[in-house]
Amino acid sequence: MDFGEPTDFELSEFLKIDEWFGDDPASFAPIIAAMEDPFYHSDGGLGVGDLSGTSGPNEGSSTSNEGGRPVKKKDVKERFAFKTRSDIEILDDGFKWRKYGKKMVKNSPNPRNYYRCSVEGCPVKKRVERDREDPSYVITTYEGIHNHQGPY
DNA sequence: CGACTTTGACCGGCGC
DNA sequence: GCGCCGGTCAAAGTCG
C-alpha cells in the first residue's frame, strides 16, 4: 500500500471512512456484516477490487498460458480495506483475531500487523497498518469471508 | 492450564 | 542467477 504514490491502485481501492462512527468499536460489526453481504461484492459498490493484478502476477504469463495457466495466487479472496481515524489499531469488531505476524513497511515508518480469525476453518485475514502521513489514521484491510455466522 | 502475543527466520515469487 | 519484497510459520514467553 503505497500512499501518496499513484500506481495502479490508490486510495480508490479503499473505503475511506473519515467520518468515524464514534468511539464504539462495536460499530464495526455491521460493517463487517455488510461486506459479507453478497449484495456488496456482487455489484462492487464498495471497494472490493482485484488487487491480484496489482503487481501483475498473471499479466506477463498470459503470453502462452491461457489453458493450463498456473494459477497460484489468482484465487484472490474478497479484499476490503478502509481508512479509519482511530488512536488504536486493535479495534475489536466483534471477532476474535490472533496476530500472526508483524512487518515493517518501506514507505512507512510504521509496522504492519497481520491478524487472522481465531475461529477454526475461518479463512478471514486482517491486515492493520497505520497511515504513513497521518498516524491518527489506521488502514484496516479485511480479506476473505467468515465461515461462521458470527463472532458470538 | 489454556490461549494469545512477540520476534526472527524462512519461503516463494518477481524483477532486474 | 541473484536480490528484493511481502507474507507466513514457528518457538518461547506472557497474560488471564
Q: Specify the pLDDT at position A115.
A: 92
Nucleotide nearest to A96 (CA to C1'): B4
Residue A8 or A112, more confident: A112
pTM over 0.75: no
Residue A100 or A28, more confident: A100
Mean pLDDT in residue range A2-26: 47
Which tens digits make up the pLDDT trace of A80-92? Answer: 777 777 766 677 7
Nucleotide nearest to A107 (CA to C1'): C5
Output the distance from A96 CA to B12 C1' rounded to whole Å.
29
- Taking the C1' atom of B12, which residue's CA lies nearest? A72
Q: Specify the pLDDT at position A149.
A: 64
Nucleotide nearest to A1 (CA to C1'): C6
- Taking the C1' atom of B14, which residue's CA lies nearest? A57
SS (H, E, C) chain A: CCCCCCCCCCHHHEEEECCCCCCCHHHHHHHHHHHHCHHHHHHCCCCCCCHHHCCCCCCHHHHCCCCCCCCCCCCCCCEEEEEEECCCCCCCCCCCEEEEEEEECCCCCCEEEEEEECCCCCCCEEEEEECCCCCCEEEEEEECCCCCCCCC
pLDDT class for A34, splitting at 50, 70, 90? Answer: low
Residues A85, A136 contacting (CB under 8 angstroms):
yes
d(CA A112, CA A62): 32
